[in-house]
Amino acid sequence: MSIEIRLPTALRALAGQQASVAVEAATVGEALDALFARHERLKGQLLGPDGKLRSFVNVYVDEDDVRDKQGLQTPLKDGDAVLIVPAIAGGSPAAAAPELTKEERRRYSRHLLLPEVGAEGQRKLKAASVLCIGAGGLGSPLALYLAAAGVGRIGLVDFDAVDESNLQRQILHDTPSVGTPKLESAKKRLAALNPNVTIETYEMKLSSANAVELFKKYDVIADGTDNFPTRYLVNDACVLTGHPNAYGSIFRFEGQLSVFAAKDGPCYRCLYPEPPPPGLVPSCAEGGVLGVLPGVIGTMQAIETLKLILGIGRPLAGRLMLYDALEQSWRTLKVRKNPDCPVCGKNPTIKAPIDYEAFCGLKEKTPPVIPEMTVEELKAKLDKKDKFVLIDVREVHEFEAARIPGSTLIPLGELDKRHVEIDRTVLVVVHCRSGARSARAVQFLRGKGFDAVNVAGGILAWAERVDPSLSVD
Ligand SMILES: [Zn+2]
């Protein structure tokens, strides 16, 4: 029987970063034995010295805890998925979490009264770390509530200074802090609120070069950005590092909320594969925003973040909540994981952060500038045996009639699906008959993060100026 064992983020490091492992087994016990035979380190984590599953490890088959069935003897059918769910807060078992001081017991007493939190949950919060992207409208209530709740380590990424127009909604900052870096006033405010919390500040623009390394240092990422390139970057870096993203966004009187990149959950790209064209959706600076709105959405992001850390309730993964302040209404929509998602799908094509400014169409003016090379330059590159790929986007019959040596055929109409076949680590040179179709191909590929260049004049120019023996209709 072919069985899929799904691993939570916290255990993937012990299994070669795999989200799931396929094994042959007839019972849960056999499936786990097969898993452990392949990944020794998992065995050490999940089995006690007596060879039994440790008590903080739950195993599920089809949403049922195997303890409610026949334990390790629970039979499996072909295609069953076995889920391993350890009680883990951001990668650290509660048992390893720090004890609470007397002062903390007093401070968090209303949490300790909740059976769902309690001293154990509060210790999980103390051991946890959250990275807030942005210390603005959403970041303000988010960071304030996370600090108040006792999340042990809070990271803040921002590079703006406090502007007078921020104070209408960004409640981390105050009038005397106008003109100073946002991180400075945020750190001061959060430290005054809860001195038990460590505040780590990163005064920089989050970029493809720094996001992955930074995200690895935190358990949960909370996206409070206000622009599309950063939003896609945060999403991709969350998927790539296996960290959930408590996501919120706001505009005028409306807000959106979800948890992306959670275990087995969809990501932002599953919901929105492509960003809107530049200029279609104005920013808060251009379109305005009701001052209280980020208070509602940022606070909800804080709730989702605490739930993720505590492992309680039903996270908002797979659901998108829409808030309308004027109607005073919430709507919840289902979001499905897209198996063809370029970053979290079965065959991901994005394996490292890409150029998000280009992806969001912010680099090119309209009409976009398509980088070009001449046929003479192409000939020189071919002669020098430079490392690059040459793609011909004409139709099959055109390719069969005449072609430039070394070219690979991907007709323009198939590029949408087949661009995944192209090596994205090298220069991609694209040609067609006269240069028009390939210009569109280059624009598309650059939007996907390829370093693509068009051949001006196409194979017609090649036949005229480089290889007159070639006959092109
Ligand atoms: Zn996805």
DSSP class per residue in 212-223: HHHHTT-SEEEE
Kindly tell me if the per-residue pLDDT of 93 is higher than 50: no
pTM of the model: 0.60
Q: How confident is the model over 93-111, as a mean pLDDT?
A: 84
Expressed in angstroms and rounded, the spacing between residue 251 Cα and the centre of ligand 1 is: 23
CB 283 within 8 A of CB 226: yes
Q: What average pLDDT does the segment 9-25 reach?
A: 80
Domain stops at, among 357, 382, 411: 357
**Is residue 401 one of the residues assigned to a domain?**
yes
Q: From ligand 1's centre to the CA of 234, what distance in Å? A: 12
Residues 276 and 421 in one domain: no
User: Among 86, 106, 136, which residue terminates a domain?
Assistant: 86
Distance between Cα 338 and ligand 1 center (Å): 6
Residue 230: HSE in the Cβ half-sphere, 13 Å Cα cutoff: 18
**pLDDT above 80 (res 332):** yes
Residue 88 has pLDDT above 50, yes or no: no
- Measuring CA to CA, which residue among 45, 135, 28, 125 is closest to residue 81? 28
Asked if the structure places residue 104 within a domain, the reply is no
Instruction: Name the residue type at position 153.
Output: R
Last residue of a domain, one of 306, 327, 357: 357
User: Residue 293's domain is classified under what CATH number?
Assistant: 3.40.50.720
Q: What spacing in Å lies between the alpha carbon of 317 and ligand 1's midpoint?
A: 12
- In this predicted structure, which of 76-80, 160-164, 176-180 has the lowest mean pLDDT? 76-80
For residue 298, is it within any domain?
Answer: yes
Per DSSP, 160 falls in state P
Q: How far is the CA of 270 from the centre of ligand 1 (A)?
A: 4
Nearest CA to 134 out of 225, 216, 245 is that of: 225
Mark whether 197 and 253 lie in a shared domain.
yes
Mean pLDDT score, 410-416: 90
Average pLDDT over residues 276-302: 84
Query: Each residue of 365-384: pLDDT tens digit?
Result: 456 678 999 999 999 999 99
Can you tell me the distance from the alpha carbon of 48 to that of 325, in angstroms, rounded to the nearest whole number?
Answer: 52
- Domain housing 260: 128-357
Give the whole-number percent of the chain exceeding pLDDT 70: 93
Domain identity same for 272 and 406:
no
3-state secondary structure of 267: coil
Spacing, Cα 73 to ligand 1 middle (Å): 35
Residue 334 Cα to ligand 1 midpoint, Å, equals: 14
The residue ranking higher by pLDDT, 41 or 422, is: 422
> Are both 189 and 264 inside the same structural domain?
yes
Q: Among all chains, which residue has been given the structure tokens 């948890």?
A: 259
pLDDT tier, 285 (very low <50, low <70, confident <90, very high otherwise)? low
- Could you list the active site residues? 284, 432
66-75, 176-185, 321-330, 406-415 — which is least confidently predicted? Answer: 66-75
What pairing do the DSSP bridges indicate for beta strands 81-86 and 64-65?
unpaired
What single DSSP character describes residue 299? H
Number of domains composing the chain: 3
Q: Does residue 101 sit within a domain? A: no
In this predicted model, which residue has the larger pLDDT, 447 or 222? 222
pLDDT score recorded for residue 339: 94
Whether residue 436 is predicted with pLDDT greater than 70 in this model: the reply is: yes
Residue 107 placed within a domain: no
Residue 466 has pLDDT above 60, yes or no: yes
Centre of ligand 1 from the C-alpha of residue 271, in Å: 7
State the Cα–Cα distance between residues 189 and 5, nearest whole angstrom.
45
Q: Is 197 among the domain residues? A: yes
Q: Highest mean pLDDT: which of 5-19, 366-380, 432-446?
A: 432-446
- Going from the Cα of 227 to the center of ligand 1, the distance in angstroms, rounded, reads 19
